[in-house]
Structure 1
Amino acid sequence: MSEQDVKQETVSRIVAAYASRPDVSPDEIVALYRRLNGEMTEAPAASPVPRGDTLMQPALPIDQAVTEDKVYCLCCGRGFKMLKRHLGAEHGMTEAEYRAAFGLPEDMPLVAPSYSRKKASHAKEAGLGKYDRSVVTE
């Protein structure tokens, strides 16, 4: 498959997924197809994460990115309980790329602290993480 075929297949899949929504008009579908097709043919493949020593500018101060109930995306400023899915879907980034793009430490949470505690509590109540350490299986 040529690079052009791969790009056309990608555009087709995106447009088909968008067209499956019940609230989309035919004109919007055509406009999306034209825009995506134009962008795919004009723009070279670009990485969302800058290379080298250049860091992205955060949408809000880094010290305000983590609150008790939300973690805010530094790319767009929106708040979530967890960032992993948003980063991949909206910004095409992995957690490592996100941290590198803003120079964040590895221990910076990408999950809201209250949500993390709640999930840990549910796991403990369900008995996860407990096993009889005196029994050795071979």
Structure 2
Amino acid sequence: MEDYLQEALEIVKAQASVRTMTEEEITSMVQKLAAGIKAIAEGDVVESGAPVAVDPQKAIREKSILCCACGKSFKVLTKKHLATHGMTPEEYREQYGYKKKLPLVCKSLQRERRKKMKEMQLWTKRTTAKKK
């Protein structure tokens, strides 16, 4: 088991060097990879089509959002990605119990967008400089 764990740690280390990962994500990834590597080495069948159990309540994080269908991490869940699962954003929200208008983005990006919109104040009529 030690070799499998070492290989999994190397993979996760490489992944963590290119993106921010929480302690929970790192631990989970090491466990899954070690088990997967062990299963492959022992000749067991690894089912890649098995549904990934991601709790929808914990999927939206500070710097990432996890796809409840496949478990992959993103900053924004795009229409293009959801189409790979045969879903529209509306169907995705309904299936995983999210509110209809919930943005499928990480919390930090949502805050940035909200701040920028408040600064732009698009809901107010702008006065033109041509008034004389």
Q: Which TM-score band (shorter chain)?
A: 0.3 to 0.5
Please, what TM-score do these two structures have when normalized by structure 2? Answer: 0.45
Please, what TM-score do these two structures have when normalized by structure 1? Answer: 0.44
